[in-house]
Every structure is written in structure tokens, then in C-alpha cells.
Chain A
Amino acid sequence: GAGVSQSPSNKVTEKGKDVELRCDPISGHTALYWYRQSLGQGLEFLIYFQGNSAPDKSGLPSDRFSAERTGGSVSTLTIQRTQQEDSAVYLCASSLGYSSYNEQFFGPGTRLTVL
């Protein structure tokens, strides 16, 4: 079946603009995660959604970052007033749920460049 998809694959924006990144998880996966991968920082967790529960936002680096998940499926990560340090690859992952059995499957990522 189809894997996790993300769009756009690349996004170039100017400092101060808002951007939206989209993630389509694997059908039937109730858990969805956003991570960020940047040079010098490695892969870091941003936010986690599980079913209808309140999201775990503990990894969001500032209040310019927000995410929502509509209908328990598609998720959008929004970055407001982008800064150059936001440049990174944003990765989305999904899993069947959260247990020790559940692998996380990753999408191809969105490469964000803030000029």
C-alpha cells in the first residue's frame, strides 16, 4: 500500500513569510509525528498526534510553530514568520498506534529553505 506522503518536497521562502507543510499518513495509522532534521542538530521531535487525544507539543521550538490534524488523517505543520534557522528537512511519520510493537514509518520529507 501507499506509504507516508509529504508535500511539497521542496519549499523556498523569504524570511518573515508563513509556510504550510502537509503530511498524509498511512491509511489506518492513528499516530502521527513531525520531526525536523537539520545540520548540526540531527533529528529532533516536534509534535505527536494520537487519535482524538490532545497532541503532545513538547518539541515545538517556539510559538511560531503549530500543527493540526484534521479528521484523524492529514496533518499540516504551519510555521509563521519564518526565520533562517527554520531551514531544515521536516519529516512526518505515522504508526498504527503507540505500543512497543509499532514501527514508525517516515515520509520523504519537505526541505524548507528560508532566504
Chain B
Amino acid sequence: KQEVTQIPAALSVPEGENLVLNCSFTDSAIYNLQWFRQDPGKGLTSLLLIQSSQREQTSGRLNASLDKSSGRSTLYIAASQPGDSATYLCAVGPSGSARQLTFGSGTQLTVLP
């Protein structure tokens, strides 16, 4: 059974700092990996999708990497802003006949002005 772990559970940084969020998964046979952000009381907003054949994806100040062999992904946020404060979730898309995403428990990020 796939398990996804995110460390740290919470992170607080001053505005302008670059930061890295970590995600690890136990089964490397995956289709893709998706990073989401969730604001309090809201649904999930998709940030980046990395296919299993890719090493990284970039969108604006965000860069996500994937190392399937070691079961790790990182989300790099450059020049953080208070508006980046949210919970960031990593989710792994499986291979085989299953269809669902398996989620980590998230990293709660606070960017202090």
C-alpha cells in the first residue's frame, strides 16, 4: 500500500526567503505526482503535475522535482510572499488498476511579512 509522507508538518519563514517542502513515497511505481495548495476552508488548487518520466516542472516561482528511484519529490518556492501561506499537499498517482491519488498529510506554510 502506497504511503506518502510530508516533512515538516509546519514551517514558518520570513517574507522573501526561498524554501523547500519535502514529500516521500514508499512505492516508486507511480504514474505521476501532483502538488496542491489548500487555503483554510477551501478546496485544493493544483500547482504542478510531474509525470513519472519527468524530473521536474516549473511554474512561476514554483519548481517541483521528482526522483522516482528514491521515492522523493521537493517543491521549491522562490522569494516567498505572505500570499503563499497555505497548506501544501503532495499526492501520488498510482500505476496499475487503481485510479485514486494518495495524499500526504501536508505542510502548513506561514510566510511572515
> What is the interface of chain A, defined by CB distance below 8 A to chain B?
4, 31, 33, 35, 42-45, 48, 50, 56, 58-59, 91, 93, 98-101, 103-109
Contact = CB atoms under 8 A, between A and B. Distances in A.
A107 to B, nearest CB: 5
Contacts of A109: 42-43
The prevalent SS among residues of B at the interface is strand
Interface residues of B, number: 25
Nearest to B52: A100
Interface of B: 31-32, 34, 36, 42-46, 49, 51-53, 89, 91, 93, 98-106
Contacts of A45: 100-102
Contact of A59 (B34, B45, B100): B100
A31 B31 CA distance: 16
